[in-house]
Amino acid sequence: MFDIFSLPNFSFQNPEFLFLFLLIPLLSGIYFYYERTGRKASLLFPDIRHPKKSTKQQIYKFRHIVFALRMLALAFLILSFARPRLENQREKVFSEGIDIVLAIDLSGSMLAEDFEPKNRIEAAKSVATDFIHQRLSDRIGLVVFSGKSFTQCPLTLDYRLLTNFISELKAGTIEEDGTAIGTAIATATNRLRESTAKSKVIILLTDGQNNAGEIEPVTAAELAAALGIKIYTVGAGTRGYARYPIPDPLFGKRYVQMKVDVDDSTLTRIARISGGRYFRATDLESLKKTYHEIDELEKTKVEVERYTEYREEFAMFLTPALILLALEFLLANTRFRKVP
């Protein structure tokens, strides 16, 4: 059953008329008071055989129908006077999107387990996914690198597809191991080269030093800066040594202590050249904080224009009120007519 009062966009233009509903219990009280105590009309018959047979005696039990119809009609009239209406709220959203490329290191060292309870790559995947979910209308792409670099996902608004790609990332899966930071920046820059977005950003996460690839990181950063691309660099890894798992054919997995070798100075220089910032994340919480800060620094400007359309619905109450009044008038002057 359609219930207009359950609609969240339903309102009354003249709600003060709803106070007239107080008349209904007042009139009902007066009506039933006079029904019990009022003076009854009487007729004189020379013979009571015919009145006893009259069907009026059966109809008399339903004599309150006329009053009920009158009160119901009054209720519908009050609702129509209150001017019920349906609100249709609409929004126009204007946004200046940002194009972002996430560049994630997949070298074997990303398996180090200093981001408890996860290793570096799992922590990076989790935080990157959360970052994507915070964006509204930005195109985001994914570049992965180790000794080589390639585009895992081009710039897209399909965040579900992008997060599916991220969920499948595994450290050490690129054939040529190493850390080609310069090549990764160049690959990401190439993806943003023809972008017309108001802001173009690379977020590069790595846990090592540039030791592979044919392009120097600083050279790649200068190229990105020349194209108006900002680079945020993130160095992932605790300070000192971290536990690194090594597969053992006899005893399964065993751990060794591996020196953390994040190149803070180069990553800082890359960020400074391009107008970005360098962040050092030493655990999962600081990595989350890093991406949150970048999210705040690169907010998409969104303007929302709201407007409301109203559709008058008084006719849906006025029509039954008139029908009920007509029915009440008909019954009051035929089957339920009172004899003076």
Q: Is the pLDDT confidence value at 231 over 70?
A: yes
Largest CA distance in the chain: 125
Identify whether 136 is part of a domain.
Answer: yes
Position 285 scores a pLDDT of 94
Mean pLDDT calculated for residue range 65-88: 83
Identify whether 42 is part of a domain.
Answer: no
Q: How much of the chain, in percent, has pLDDT values that exceed 70?
A: 82
Residues 156 and 197 both lie in one domain: yes
Least confident of 52-56, 85-89, 169-173, 254-258: 52-56
Residues 137 and 63 both lie in one domain: no
Residues 221 and 244 both lie in one domain: yes
Position 175 scores a pLDDT of 80
Q: Domain tally for the chain?
A: 2
Q: What are the tokens at 214? A: 């044919």
118 - beta bridge partners?
115
Identify whether 238 is part of a domain.
Answer: yes
The model scores a pTM over 0.85: no
Residues 83 and 125 both lie in one domain: no
Position 120 scores a pLDDT of 96
Residues 173 and 224 both lie in one domain: yes
Three-state DSSP state, 250: coil
- Report the candidate in 217, 179, 156, 203 with the shortest Cα–Cα distance to residue 297: 203
Identify whether 339 is part of a domain.
Answer: no
Q: Is the pLDDT confidence value at 2 over 50?
A: no
Identify whether 340 is part of a domain.
Answer: no
Residues 58 and 193 both lie in one domain: no
Q: Is the pLDDT confidence value at 134 over 70?
A: yes
Query: What band does 228 get if pLDDT is binned at 50, 70 and 90?
Result: very high
Q: Is the pLDDT confidence value at 56 over 60?
A: no
Position 148 scores a pLDDT of 94
240 phi-psi bin (left φ>0, alpha ψ -120 to 50, beta other): left
Identify whether 24 is part of a domain.
Answer: yes
Q: Is the pLDDT confidence value at 250 over 50?
A: yes
Summarize pLDDT for 212-227 with one digit per residue, the tens: 999 999 999 999 999 9
Q: Residue 209: give the domain boundaries.
A: 98-299
Identify whether 70 is part of a domain.
Answer: yes
Identify whether 41 is part of a domain.
Answer: no
Q: How many CB atoms lie within 10 A of CB 81?
A: 18
Residues 247 and 320 both lie in one domain: no
Compare 234 and 58 and report the one with higher pLDDT.
234
Residues 268 and 234 both lie in one domain: yes
Least confident of 54-63, 77-86, 156-165, 225-234: 54-63
Q: How many residues does the chain have?
A: 340
Q: Is the pLDDT confidence value at 20 over 80?
A: yes
Summarize pLDDT for 176-205 with one digit per residue, the tens: 889 999 999 999 999 999 998 889 999 999
Residues 212 and 278 both lie in one domain: yes
Position 37 scores a pLDDT of 76
CA dist 220 → 22, 145, 267 (Å): 78, 15, 12
**CATH number of the domain encompassing residue 231:** 3.40.50.410
Summarize pLDDT for 278-327 with one digit per residue, the tens: 999 999 999 999 999 999 988 776 555 555 666 777 777 888 878 888 88
Position 162 scores a pLDDT of 97
Position 199, amino acid: S
Summarize pLDDT for 96-112 with one digit per residue, the tens: 679 999 999 999 999 99
Residues 67 and 214 both lie in one domain: no
Position 5 scores a pLDDT of 44
Q: How many CB atoms lie within 10 A of CB 106?
A: 25
Residues 201 and 244 both lie in one domain: yes
Position 234 scores a pLDDT of 97
Query: What band does 4 get if pLDDT is binned at 50, 70 and 90?
Result: very low
Residues 103 and 230 both lie in one domain: yes
- Report the candidate in 192, 203, 198 with the shortest Cα–Cα distance to residue 302: 198
